Chain A
Amino acid sequence: ETGVTQTPRHLVMGMTNKKSLKCEQHLGHNAMYWYKQSAKKPLELMFVYSLEERVENNSVPSRFSPECPNSSHLFLHLHTLQPEDSALYLCASSQDWAANYGYTFGSGTRLTVV
């Protein structure tokens, strides 16, 4: 298994659907992150979990709901999304919350909201 695995790779959903993105890391890291990557914009940090506790939430709309049941798994629950939410959603992990040694990223979920 590679370091950080995200599923699904692609997702198309209607605005009234509910879906979840999954992230799993096999590195023994203690911190996990959700980032949003939109075209021509810097990566946007959405949520940070350290030892399964949410430590940062960057004013993300409530239609995005994260869940971290253990230090290896991270979910992003989606409901009633908008077309502007279409983007690449990247999960990352780091040894700890300080993350001074960088992050390991997954391959992302390409989300299209129709």
Chain B
Amino acid sequence: AQKVTQAQTEISVVEKEDVTLDCVYETRDTTYYLFWYKQPPSGELVFLIRRNSFDEQNEISGRYSWNFQKSTSSFNFTITASQVVDSAVYFCALKVGTGANNLFFGTGTRLTVIP
């Protein structure tokens, strides 16, 4: 069975602090994709990153970085020097096979950055 767990329901940090959002996934498929989406108060889910199961290289994009570790089935997301605009709900998702029925979202982590 496929599953995505985001154990942190809500996190609050003070601006300029670093914060890591955890994502643990379960699948027996050897080929899969992992995603992170950001949902600001406006509602739309904004695509942040896609990673396939064969690429364990960590990625950095500005203040955002992602740590993919197959050994622990984790795909964690770190925001460095957080800003108020980072306040949002962040979703991790796992895709196996083809078709939208094979896309599994976590329940999200609400991040609040306090000025």
Residues of A within 8 A of B (CB): 4, 9, 31, 33, 40-43, 45, 48, 55-56, 58, 88, 90, 92, 94, 97-108, 110
Contacts and interface: CB of A to CB of B under 8 A. Distances in A.
Contact of A45 (B45, B46, B50, B101): B101
Contacts of B95: 99-100
Contacts of A40: 107
Contacts of A106: 44
Interface string B74-115: 000000000000000001000100111101111100000000
B99 A48 contact: yes
Contacts of A108: 43-44
A43 B91 contact: yes
A98 B37 CA distance: 18
Nearest to A106: B44
